[in-house]
Amino acid sequence: MRGWWQEFAGLVLPVDCAGCGAVRVLVCAECRDALSGAGEGPVRPSPRPAGLPVVRAAAVYEGAVRSLLLAHKERGALPLAGVLGAALAVAVVGGAGRGGASGPGGVSGPGGAGEVALVPVPSARRQVRARGHDPARRIALAAAGRLRRAGVRARVAPVLGLRRAVADQAGLGARQRRENLAGALAVRRGARALLPDGTRIVLVDDLVTTGATLAEAARAVRAAGLVTGPGAALRAAVVAAPADSFRRIERVPRV
């Protein structure tokens, strides 16, 4: 009921831009542009946790982007899922090979063939209750819809779940986050039916900082044997990442 009321109120009541405070607009043109995906690219935390797949982000986690993500996640601004999902969709198809279904911005879908399954990183139940929604899953659903409208066969496959309690990640360093999450995620029973052979799996979240969460999600998916087949690869996509994660990738020389 709380989530329904938040979404209804956000649609019918006058609001200010959650990114910059511009009056009577959900997301102003300038803040929407910050989430356009123009700066989309690969990101890599440092130190890079073992097992972290290739991660792409649509925007830098700062300014308006940070405010929009926090408004959606922590303050229940549920209608923001649309613009955040559109940004995530750009990261999902970013860097994909040519020859597949055309995605947002004319970019081909991941792998160029088969269905794309967006696997959101799950939130703890207590966090979902406190927030009234699951932010990563909501954004993933919006991204999947955006991808389908662009001709990419995409859907959300919520196959991951927490198998033990974890501490709140806020305030924890990279090593503490890895220790906190080690072995915490598992693939739910029946996941194989949701991810048939040929499905391209993309782990998705709203934000990557240390990479510990995505690395643990990747471990769980690989351990369940869900990444199979010739040339199969696990990828990840997020709405935003710290600026230095983008710069670190750009400095790596090509060989």
**pLDDT tier for residue 93 given thresholds of 50, 70 and 90:** very high
Express each pLDDT in 138-160 by its tens digit. Answer: 999 999 999 999 999 999 999 99
In the structure, what pLDDT confidence band is assigned to residue 196 with cuts at 50, 70 and 90?
Answer: confident
Compute the distance between CA of residue 202 and CA of residue 119 in angstroms, rounded to an integer: 6
Question: Is the preceding omega at residue 47 within 30 degrees of 0, hence cis?
Answer: yes
Confidence label for 254 from pLDDT (cuts 50, 70 and 90): very low
Q: What predicted TM-score, i.e. pTM, was given to this entire model?
A: 0.82
Q: Is a pLDDT exceeding 60 seen at residue 166?
A: yes
- Residue 98, judged by CB atoms within 10 A of its CB (0-12, 13-18, 19+), counts as exposed
Pick from 74-88, 100-114, 139-153, 217-231: least confident: 100-114
For residue 118, the SS3 value is strand
What element of type H or E holds 250? helix 243-250
Beta carbons within 8 Å of 248's beta carbon, 6+ residues apart: 43, 44, 46
